[in-house]
Amino acid sequence: MDTALPPHMRPDKSFQGLLLTLQRFWADQGCVILQPYDMEVGAGTFHPATTLRALGPRHWKAAYVQPSRRPKDGRYGENPNRLQHYYQFQVILKPSPDNLQDLYLQSLAAIGIDTRLHDVRFVEDDWESPTLGAWGLGWECWCDGMEVSQFTYFQQVAGFECAPVAGELTYGLERLAMYVQGVENVYDLNFNGRDGAERVSYGDVFKQAEQEYSRHNFEHADTDMLLEQFRMAEGACTRYLAAGDAGERHLMVLPAYDQCIKASHVFNLLDARGVISVTERQSYILRVRELAKACGAAWLKTEAGGAA
């Protein structure tokens, strides 16, 4: 940890300090520091900077914070650990460098986790996203028994083999912050690193939102509208892909992929509202996966996807 930091920027005192420290660390490793994708997603992986950029031969290094929505995980602001909206810090390095584990451990050191005092472990956890048609092998990273990150070597995305292989790191920022701040309840996190009257807590920023969105996600989200939105997003994605198809090349993947993201989030909301039966659930997942696969195939026909 950089001891020259002013107190309010220290990652063990300030949520935003933690986030900025990670950004700074990965900027120093040559990553482009992106901003969150401006759509609702379930995880940082959905950001096109990961899903699409993981495909094709071109090298890519990026890091960004991604607000992630898990409608089902809402607890009306009453559970000290569970949130329907939280932050992931996402790093993608393609190809995965030989020292990726070391870089990850250095990033923990940068936020104040001393590996001579804390028990950091790489515990098997194979990652799979049925909606993205993606899987990889890696670990969940434990710090003193707590899972603080996911570490994955992507093997397949959108149904395509990844070559070169991208390494993906996902830090659960709230958990990590709770750990380094020594806090038991997420809402007690110090957000801005200030004391006294100037102190802003995570609860000050998000508790009301957690309560409101829990009501929305479980009780009031308009299911008729959502079902319609799912169909519309699915239809639009397919149409945009058709419109952008120029034979060897594809000219309109990103707008189409937005609709795939949209469909995925709408599905998550419908799932939280409990209107999707067990058998239907599988078919919705398959429908989103078909969109993701089609977007992946189109991406490989673009310049960033490596098409000649």
Partner 1 sequence: MPDLLLELFSEEIPARMQAQAAETLRKLVTDALVERGLLYEGAKAFVTPRRLALAVHGLPGRQSDTREERKGPRVGAPEGAVQGFLKSAGLTSLDQATIQSDPKKGDFYVAVIERPGRATTEVIAEIVPQIVRTFPWPKSMRWGTGTMRWVRPLHSIVCTFGTEVEDPEVVRFEVEGIVSSNVTSGHRFLAPETFEVRRLDDWMAKLEAAKVIVDRERRKSIIMADARNLALVHGLELVEDEGLLEEVSGLVEWPVALMGSFDEAFLDIPDEVIRATIRANQKCFVLKDPRTGRLANRFILVSNLAASDDGVAIVAGNGRVIRARLSDAKFFWDTDRKTRLEERLGKFEQITFHEKIGSQAERIARIATLARAIAPSVGADPDAAELAGRLVKADLLTEVVGEFPELQGLMGRYYAQGEGLPAEIATACEDHYKPQGPSDRVPSAPVSVAVALADKIDTLVGFWAIDEKPTGSKDPYALRRAALGVVRIILDNKLRLPLRPLLVSAARPLLGEGHFEAHPHDVFRLESLADKVVSELLRNLARRLLQADPNAAPEDVARVEGASMSGDLADDLIAFFAERLKVHVRERGARHDLVDAVFALPEQDDLLMIVARVDALQRFLETEDGRTLLAGYRRAVNILRIEEKKDGARYEGPADAALLAEPAEQRLAEAIETVKAEAARAVAEEHFQGAMAALAQLRAPVDAFFEAVTVNASDSALRVNRLRLLDEIRAATRAIADFDRIEG
Cβ nearer to partner 1, comparing 117 with 308: 117
Rounded to a whole number of angstroms, the minimum distance from the CB of residue 117 to partner 1 is 5
CA gap 43, 90 in Å, rounded = 9
Distances from the Cα of 195 to the Cα of 8, 198, 226, angstroms: 9, 6, 43
Cβ nearer to partner 1, comparing 121 with 239: 121
Cβ nearer to partner 1, comparing 24 with 70: 70
Say what angle helices 223-244 and 253-272 make with each other, to 10 degrees: 160
Cβ nearer to partner 1, comparing 81 with 208: 81
Say which DSSP state 201 is in. B
Cβ nearer to partner 1, comparing 27 with 163: 163
CA gap 175, 145 in Å, rounded = 12
Distances from the Cα of 248 to the Cα of 234, 245, 291, angstroms: 24, 8, 19
H-state helical runs in 41-93: 48-51
Rounded to a whole number of angstroms, the minimum distance from the CB of residue 161 to partner 1 is 8
**Contact (CB, 8 A) for 55 and 28:** no
Structure tokens given for 5: 């930091």
Cβ nearer to partner 1, comparing 35 with 277: 277
**Contact (CB, 8 A) for 250 and 301:** yes
Rounded to a whole number of angstroms, the minimum distance from the CB of residue 112 to partner 1 is 12
Say which DSSP state 219 is in. I
Q: Interface residues with partner 1 (CB under 8 A)?
A: 80-81, 95-98, 101, 115-124, 126, 136-139, 143-146, 153, 155, 163-165, 167, 179, 184, 277-278
CA gap 46, 69 in Å, rounded = 11
Rounded to a whole number of angstroms, the minimum distance from the CB of residue 96 to partner 1 is 5
CA gap 159, 151 in Å, rounded = 20
Cβ nearer to partner 1, comparing 36 with 164: 164
Rounded to a whole number of angstroms, the minimum distance from the CB of residue 276 to partner 1 is 13
Cβ nearer to partner 1, comparing 102 with 228: 102
Say which DSSP state 35 is in. P
CA gap 151, 140 in Å, rounded = 6
Rounded to a whole number of angstroms, the minimum distance from the CB of residue 245 to partner 1 is 30
Structure tokens given for 148: 């603080």
Residue 102 Cα to chain centre, angstroms: 22
H-state helical runs in the chain: 15-28, 48-51, 100-110, 173-181, 202-215, 223-244, 253-272, 278-299
Rounded to a whole number of angstroms, the minimum distance from the CB of residue 275 to partner 1 is 14
Rounded to a whole number of angstroms, the minimum distance from the CB of residue 220 to partner 1 is 23
